[in-house]
């Protein structure tokens, strides 16, 4: 899923073009000597943080949805087009791993001629479509299956006018896998932009959701708001990251071009990947930052800078994309094939192997 870009100058246009060539998730340049575990990630990497599964998604015909747990493929490829013969494309996709090898996909199906359907699809481990249901009146920005509840958590707004006297409604809803509402949480009025809190873009990134045994975390990109809840839906912390991200991304003359992968740790930190550019020095770089939601304390996890000598990396250098946090460590993908892992104590990633 590509981001929407608004380039600031010709130099940044080159940066953004280079970034899109890397599936909009590049995080640095690294030249490892050891061979990493390989996958075959067709499409754009999408990390199911709740269930620690890597999905590869592309809404074009002939490119299946594929999933990996570690280096092992999880279930069969999923071809949405075979189940909807008149389908032209699907987009806005959020994917999560369900029980017994199932996969739940929230997506918008475009059949052309203004025939558009927003649905949640359930596939079994063989790639067969089991169920389709409509989440209306809620729009789905992100979803996550929780095995602790055997339930599906859906984050999204509703088609309600954004005016002062507009009725309130929940932004986070817990459903059964069949689509029956179990619980509603986080009134829209909680966030600064209410139902318009999920407008995504290059600089602010995309909505994100993670459900753990004790907490729920989500990111609303319009104002870079991050929310931490307990499992009853009570808000434990809420923070707007605009000032923090602005400060981190403008150090040493850099400015923010894009926000890429977003994930949450078990202890209440949010991790973001920032693409930075410097018009004066014609350098660009990638920085992974970690911010504590409660305190606002921020730290740099990894930063790599590169001169604008070419749109392509020099021969022999590998471009690693941040996928997300796996068991508290930073998981990266290189060339849609090779997996690398970085512990919190390490300066650089190392090849991912079976021991991880």
**Cβ(178)–Cβ(131) below 8 Å:** yes
Token pair, residue 70, equals 């570690």
Q: Which of 19-23, 65-69, 203-207, 351-355 has the lowest mean pLDDT?
A: 19-23
- Which pLDDT score, from 0 to 100, does residue 318 have? 66
Of 129, 64, 76, 125, the C-alpha closest to 98 is 125
Percentage with pLDDT > 90 across the chain: 69
Distance separating alpha carbons of residues 99 and 165, to the nearest angstrom:
41
- Which pLDDT score, from 0 to 100, does residue 35 have? 53
Q: How confident is the model at residue 29 (pLDDT cuts 50, 70, 90)?
A: very low
Q: How confident is the model at residue 342 (pLDDT cuts 50, 70, 90)?
A: very high
Is residue 20 scored above 70 in pLDDT? Answer: no
Distance separating alpha carbons of residues 317 and 312, to the nearest angstrom:
10
CA 287 from centroid of its chain's CA atoms: 16
Percentage with pLDDT > 70 across the chain: 85
80 versus 284: the higher-pLDDT residue is 80
- Which pLDDT score, from 0 to 100, does residue 76 have? 97
Helix (H/G/I), strand (E/B), else coil: 298: strand
Which tens digit of pLDDT belongs to each residue from 43-73? Answer: 899 999 999 999 999 998 999 999 999 889 9
Of 327, 342, 347, the C-alpha closest to 49 is 327
- Which pLDDT score, from 0 to 100, does residue 30 have? 41
What is the rounded average pLDDT of the residues 312-340?
Answer: 82
Architecture of domain 10-351: 6 Propeller (2.120)
Q: CA 204, 78, 210, 199 torsion: positive or negative?
A: positive
Q: Is residue 248 within a helix (H) or strand (E), and if so which, with residue range?
A: helix 242-249
**Cβ(231)–Cβ(214) below 8 Å:** yes
Q: How confident is the model at residue 176 (pLDDT cuts 50, 70, 90)?
A: very high
Is residue 14 scored above 60 in pLDDT? Answer: no
Taking residue 5's Cβ as centre, other Cβ atoms within 10 Å add up to 19
Token pair, residue 306, equals 């590169």
Q: How confident is the model at residue 317 (pLDDT cuts 50, 70, 90)?
A: low
**Cβ(347)–Cβ(330) below 8 Å:** no
pTM: 0.88
Q: How confident is the model at residue 33 (pLDDT cuts 50, 70, 90)?
A: very low
In angstroms, the first-to-last Cα distance of the chain is 28
Kindly report the backbone phi and psi dihedral angles of residue 158, in degrees, each rounded to the nearest multiple of 5, phi listed first.
-135, 165
């Amino acid at each position: 899923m590509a981001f929407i870009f608004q380039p600031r100058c010709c130099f940044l246009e080159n940066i953004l073009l280079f970034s899109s060539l890397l599936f909009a998730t590049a995080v640095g340049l690294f030249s490892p000597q050891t061979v990493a575990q390989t996958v075959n990630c067709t499409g754009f990497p999408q990390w199911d943080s709740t269930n620690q599964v890597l999905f590869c998604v592309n809404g074009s015909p002939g490119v299946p949805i594929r999933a990996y747990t570690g280096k092992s493929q999880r279930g069969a490829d999923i071809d949405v087009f075979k189940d909807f013969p008149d389908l032209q494309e699907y987009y806005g996709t959020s994917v999560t791993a369900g029980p017994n090898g199932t996969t739940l996909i929230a997506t918008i199906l475009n059949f052309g001629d203004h025939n558009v359907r927003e649905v949640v699809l359930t596939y079994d481990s063989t790639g067969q479509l089991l169920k389709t249901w409509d989440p209306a009146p809620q729009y789905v920005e992100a979803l996550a299956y929780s095995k602790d509840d055997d339930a599906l958590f859906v984050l999204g707004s509703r088609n309600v006018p954004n005016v002062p006297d507009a009725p309130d409604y929940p932004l986070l809803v817990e459903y059964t896998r069949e689509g029956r509402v179990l619980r509603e949480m986080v009134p829209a009025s909680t966030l600064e932009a209410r139902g318009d809190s999920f407008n995504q873009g290059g600089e602010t990134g995309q909505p994100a959701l993670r459900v753990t045994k004790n907490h729920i975390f989500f990111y609303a990109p319009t104002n870079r708001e991050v929310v931490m809840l307990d499992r009853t839906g009570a808000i434990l912390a809420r923070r707007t990251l605009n000032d923090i991200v602005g400060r981190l991304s403008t150090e040493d003359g850099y400015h923010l071009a894009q926000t890429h992968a977003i994930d949450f740790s078990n202890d209440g930190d949010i991790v973001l990947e920032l693409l930075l550019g410097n018009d004066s020095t014609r350098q660009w770089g990638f920085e992974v930052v970690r911010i504590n939601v409660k305190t606002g304390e921020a730290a740099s996890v990894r930063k790599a800078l590169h001169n604008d000598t070419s749109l392509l990396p020099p021969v022999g250098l590998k471009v690693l994309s941040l996928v997300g946090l796996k068991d508290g460590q930073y998981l990266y993908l290189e060339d849609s094939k090779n997996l690398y892992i970085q512990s919190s104590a390490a300066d650089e990633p190392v090849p991912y192997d079976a021991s991880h």
